[in-house]
Structure 1
């Protein structure tokens, strides 16, 4: 363990001392209560909340040397210790009140259903920063090019988007994503589908082991999947479709994925298409340190290398007004995991990338293109108010993308959305990381590489943010459409000797 050369017990004492000092300080104010919490408690008598604690992990305690796995282990230890120490008194209070709750450490929070009186009592505590709503909000689904129904296994061989970013030329070099783990956190995954079953990290060809490979953050039934599903399940189809584009290949005529040699793991963070800040952060926590099926024995060494994130969390869901989702994602990235996110489908006007996490600077944000090398009309455009990074970062195929769905183990469908563009990029990341394993654990270097090798679309003349369409990056297409062959070639030449594996 490497925590600035401090053993865990010393770190606990450090945190406890800091908390004692904070609690005695006069600057601590009453917790902020979201208006939605007050309104729902008054209407229903109780409300599902996310209790945000004041204490935050001090990342300056972490050493910066060592390889990325050592740094990730230290980060997880720090986050867990901070939560354990700072939540202890609050957990005792909840136990005494008979309140069921679920604690988290990736962000120092506790999810609990509270009465109005309990909300008011907690709001006066000095160790609580905010009491936020944990109400579910429905995912805004991508546009459908065709009805979400099983379709014939058309002999498309390699799908157009996979061809467009030059993945087959990379495969010809012997690079298919082998040794790299991609992850989906979405509506779930039909793990038995012919195009992805053999690529599931929990499948050895004969027996399935879902420990450390699958987590269900949905703990109450509202869909065709059971609560706390012990195996991957998809109640919508959206999550399966995105994983298929990352790596799907049935070995026959359906090469729908960019990195067919990679492995995948997954987490369900939406219940019938509706997620909450707690379910999003629970999946983020599991992805940073996967656990067994009981939620125990977290192991950060089994975290994925890249996460494809094809959902948006709007302001109304608490991901912009609050910082809980941002903090969780920043911790994933601090743990050396590449986080690829959709720009959203509110285009074509300027300033339409509006939902987290696509608005965050350190997230790699993806816009969508058509088969004829034009910007998809629905693709969100920048600029993003307050962002220091031009958004989107890059663009990728997202219109009429054919991939797997949940209907059966042989079902496919075509969808359109930045949800479909994003997994093209996640798959490309897997190819680049196999080409140079030194890029694993270094998301900033991968992002820089994909930006520097992207190809601008000359057909796009739209101007947003006052930046000419001929200037790159710009808020319409970022640096341009990814070219994974160029990225792999550059990775092998530039990063071969100077990036630590």
Structure 2
């Protein structure tokens, strides 16, 4: 059943080994705390360095080891805070994936909490309005079998040359939701056996009080999510071959309420993917975890993610567990330094820019470089088709959208082809990331960003280049000695 977040009112905080707390918050959070209103805030607790070894050649065992490690850390470090909250009948919500506690309280009560030594940092959890394409219910029945973007990344050659379409790979998406029974999505939904549906372990809704209720089955309150999933696995068995990896299966999580998300709605989906549950949120089981998570969304600072680090620990932990995180670069181009939002800005994310049908960079595609916590990164990592991509909508039809949201699903699906062709790559996201980067079609530009000339590879316009499924699978199929390649 859905969880309910209640407002809390804390009594004056007793002796808590107080310390200066203002360095723990951003200017935006400080502004919220000065408002004399109830503030919803994320408290991140101190996490000691871990020494346990989670590595395993078994993908699921590696995830289970990481989940156990994260849960143990959260249990131990959150204990003193939770004991206080429980003793005073104060509700809270715990997130073990990032060692966070989500609360809502008066500013004075929150500052008392922030003074505790157990609290490392605080983040805003204000709703975030994602700039999605306008919903389009129109069905575009362009008479085509294989969409241009699918052909551009050379997926059909992988299907024919290797007989590989993504078999035995699970792709997850967190987005506006998904029309699970769409003709191009139904047969590849893991919860569908050909006759009946079982949404347990295959669908999660992180929105507590949605404007559009999904009930106990996947739904899409916009169409954006269905479009991205169609690009990854879509095929209606007739004239709509819209997916790059039509042999892969999919699962999903809704992280936005008609375009409105929060840092914790995104984190909740990531946490659920590490350890999917039944529809009641019970009986978690990492055996159902995906290989890849597509993230066609951004979390801008001026709309809620006031601290760029708010989701970094979450993304890092997902990748450490052996799951590839693919993220759209954003649509704020064409100037430099316009990749600015989580999760695209993180080193562990495979960040994707957009290209056109002419194999040029899309004008809207955000550019790098990126500086996070003092570290400069070249972003995006890769580019892929994202301008005027035709895919599924949420009305059993098809429509065309443009954006880096349309580009990243191409890359997630190529990763599925690579893992399907060489199953030993499953659970090794950093290695798969390198394979995709080094086998892309090199692309250059005249744009210099952050001192990196567009004539070099990689650059801050295209990254390493435009994704190429055939070259990636060719390389991955012959890849035996991993250690040298990872250097």
| Shared fold, TM over 0.5 | yes
Does 2:174 match 1:188?
no
In the alignment, which residue of structure 2 is the partner of 1:70? 61
1:356 shift after superposition? 1.5
Match of 1:471 among 450, 453, 456: 456
Conserved in 2, the CA contact under 8 Å of 1:361 and 1:387?
Answer: no
Superposition map of 1:88-107 within 5 A? 88-107=79-98
Unaligned runs of 5+ in 2: 1-14
Distance 2:35 2:117 in 1: 27
Distance 1:498 1:470 in 2: 30
Change (3 A) 1:92 1:400: same
Match of 2:228 among 214, 235, 242: 242
Change (3 A) 1:124 1:461: closer
Change (3 A) 1:387 1:240: farther
In the alignment, which residue of structure 2 is the partner of 1:209? 198
Superposition map of 1:113-262 within 5 A? 113-142=104-133, 148-172=136-160, 173-221=162-210, 223-226=211-214, 229-262=215-248
CA offset digits 1:60-82 (Å, max 9, x no partner): 32243543322221110011111
Distance 1:230 1:103 in 2: 23
Conserved in 1, the CA contact under 8 Å of 2:41 and 2:103?
Answer: yes
In the alignment, which residue of structure 2 is the partner of 1:300? 286
Does 2:413 match 1:427?
yes
1:303 shift after superposition? 1.0
Unaligned runs of 5+ in 1: 1-23
Q: How many residues align?
A: 466
Distance 1:100 1:80 in 2: 19
Conserved in 2, the CA contact under 8 Å of 1:215 and 1:293?
Answer: yes
Does 2:365 match 1:379?
yes
1:293 shift after superposition? 1.4
CA offset digits 1:101-127 (Å, max 9, x no partner): 221100111112212342133223222
Distance 1:53 1:240 in 2: 36
Name the SS of the counterpart of 1:372 in structure 2.
coil
Conserved in 2, the CA contact under 8 Å of 1:69 and 1:301?
Answer: yes
Conserved in 2, the CA contact under 8 Å of 1:367 and 1:418?
Answer: yes
1:319 shift after superposition? 4.1
Conserved in 1, the CA contact under 8 Å of 2:330 and 2:339?
Answer: yes
Name the SS of the counterpart of 2:40 in structure 1.
strand
In the alignment, which residue of structure 2 is the partner of 1:394? 382
Instruction: Calculate the TM-score normalised by the size of structure 2.
Output: 0.90
Distance 1:243 1:387 in 2: 33
Conserved in 2, the CA contact under 8 Å of 1:381 and 1:475?
Answer: yes
1:30 shift after superposition? 3.9
Match of 1:455 among 441, 445, 455: 441
Distance 2:439 2:392 in 1: 29
Conserved in 1, the CA contact under 8 Å of 2:203 and 2:218?
Answer: yes
Distance 2:481 2:421 in 1: 9
In the alignment, which residue of structure 2 is the partner of 1:331? 317
Distance 2:54 2:89 in 1: 40
Instruction: Calculate the TM-score normalised by the size of structure 1.
Output: 0.87
1:455 shift after superposition? 0.7
1:36 shift after superposition? 4.4
Name the SS of the counterpart of 1:158 in structure 2.
coil
Change (3 A) 1:33 1:298: same
Conserved in 1, the CA contact under 8 Å of 2:204 and 2:269?
Answer: yes
Does 2:434 match 1:445?
no
Comparing 423-432 with 379-388, greater Cα deviation is found at 379-388
1:445 shift after superposition? 1.1
Distance 2:72 2:383 in 1: 39
Name the SS of the counterpart of 2:412 in structure 1.
helix
Distance 1:28 1:62 in 2: 33
Output the aligned Cα RMSD. Answer: 2.3
1:40 shift after superposition? 4.3
In the alignment, which residue of structure 2 is the partner of 1:358? 344
Does 2:464 match 1:482?
no
